[in-house]
Amino acid sequence: MREPPLTTYLVRRAQILITRNLTDCLHDYNVTPAQYLMLSLSRRGGEMSSASLARRFTISPQSMNEMIAGLEKKRLVARTVGGEKRRTLQINLTPEGAKLLKACDRAVDRMEKHLFSSLSAAELHSFRSALIKLTGSPSEMRAAG
């Protein structure tokens, strides 16, 4: 009898599937999944350190600064440096960024509806609840985008 796959293996396969679908649905907007997440985080504004953002995205602080600079160059976000030691960033969506994010949100909603269509409403609710329990509080999840 075959052993069932490890949970971590299944989660990784799901991550790959979701990333591929997210990349495809954002392609027409010239936005990567990481940029979409950054725009989503910027929606709420507030101060964020480059180091904490880099950890959240599992990238280097230098790569984070490059991503933010790229979004700034596209005029999707505006940033100011603040805090006592000038280590925190205030990142806000520009009007262009807010408009693009709204369009991306609609595309991602359609993608998710299609991607998770094999799950019943109850199964999807249970799945989401389990993911929230595993990854953090509901308020942390909403804040992340």
Q: Summarize pLDDT for 42-75 with one digit per residue, the tens.
A: 887 767 777 788 888 888 988 988 999 999 999 9
Q: Summarize pLDDT for 89-127 with one digit per residue, the tens.
A: 788 889 999 999 999 999 999 999 999 999 999 999 999
In a domain, 136, yes or no: no
In a domain, 109, yes or no: no
Per the CB < 8 A criterion, the answer to whether 76 and 39 are in contact is yes
Q: Where in the sequence is the domain holding 66, given as residue range(s)? A: 7-102
Report the pLDDT value the prediction gives residue 83, as an integer from 0 to 100: 63
pTM to 2 decimals? 0.80
In a domain, 13, yes or no: yes
How crowded is residue 34: how many other Cβ atoms within 10 Å of its Cβ?
A: 16
In a domain, 114, yes or no: no
In a domain, 20, yes or no: yes
Report the pLDDT value the prediction gives residue 92, as an integer from 0 to 100: 85
In a domain, 92, yes or no: yes
Which residues lie closer than 8 Å to 91 by C-beta, 6 or more apart? 38, 41, 42, 45, 48, 68, 77, 78, 79
Question: How many domains does the chain fold into?
Answer: 1
Assign residue 31 the CATH number of its domain.
Answer: 1.10.10.10
In a domain, 62, yes or no: yes
In a domain, 116, yes or no: no
